[in-house]
Structure 1
Amino acid sequence: MSHTITQKPKLLARIRRLKGQMDAVERALEADADCADVLNLVASVRGAINGLTVELIEDHIRHHVADPDTDTDPHRAEGAAELIDVIRTYLK
C-alpha cells in the first residue's frame, strides 16, 4: 500500500496514541480500578481502533478503487463516496 507511506507519520502517531491508551488499560487493571473506569478506557481504545480502520479503508478505496473527488465516471465516484460514508457510519 504505497499510500500508507505518504501517511506514515500520521498513522504512526495514531498507533502511538493507541499504545498509550492500552497502557492506561493495563495500569487501571493493575491498580484494581473500578470496572466502569476500565470499561470506559477499553471503549476509548475501541473507538481509536475503529477510527484507524476507517482511515485505512478510506485511503485504500481512494487509491485502489475509485476516488470520489477525482474519478471521471460519475457513477463510480458516487458509489465510492457512498461506500466511504457507509464504512464511516458502520465503524463509528
Structure 2
Amino acid sequence: MVGYTGTKEQYLARLRRIEGQVRGIQRMVEDDTYCIEVLTQVSAVTKALQSVSLGLLEDHIGHCVVDAARESDEAADAKVTEAAAAIARLVRS
C-alpha cells in the first residue's frame, strides 16, 4: 500500500481540477488572451501542482518512511535517501 491510498480520491479530484485549469490556459492561448493573464493562470497551476507534491511527500514520509523505519535501519536509510532526492527535485523545479 502506498502512503496516499487513504486520500487517493482527494488527490484525483485536485488533479482533475488542475487538468481543467491547464485546458483553460490552452484556450486562453488559442484566444490570444493577454500575456499577463495567461502567466497568472500558469502560476496558479504551478502552485496547485506544488501543493499536490507536498501532500504526496508528507504522505510518503508519514507512511512509507515510518514503515521502513519500523522494518530496519537499512530500510529506513533507503527511504530517507529516496525522500531527500524527491525533495531536491522539487526544490530545483
TM-score (norm. length: structure 1): 0.68
Deviation at 1:3, TM superposition (A): 2.6
Q: Are residues 1:13 and 2:18 paired?
A: no
RMSD of equivalent CA atoms:
2.4
Q: Which structure would you say has the larger RCO, counting Cα contacts within 8 Å and 6 or more residues apart?
A: 2
Consecutive unaligned residues of structure 2, counting only runs of 5 or more, are 68-83
1:59 corresponds to 2:59? yes
SS at match of 2:3: helix
Give the helix-richer structure, 1 or 2. Answer: 2
Q: Percent identity?
A: 37
User: Would the aligned equivalents of 2:3 and 2:64 in 1 still touch at CA under 8 Å?
Assistant: no
Change (3 A) 1:3 1:64: closer
Correspondences of 1:1-92 after superposition (within 5 Å): 1-66=1-66
Q: TM-score, normalised by structure 2?
A: 0.68
SS at match of 1:3: coil
The 8 Å contact of residues 3 and 62 in structure 2, kept in 1 or not, is answered as no
Distance 1:32 1:45 in 2: 19
Is contact 2:2-2:64 (8 Å) kept? Answer: no
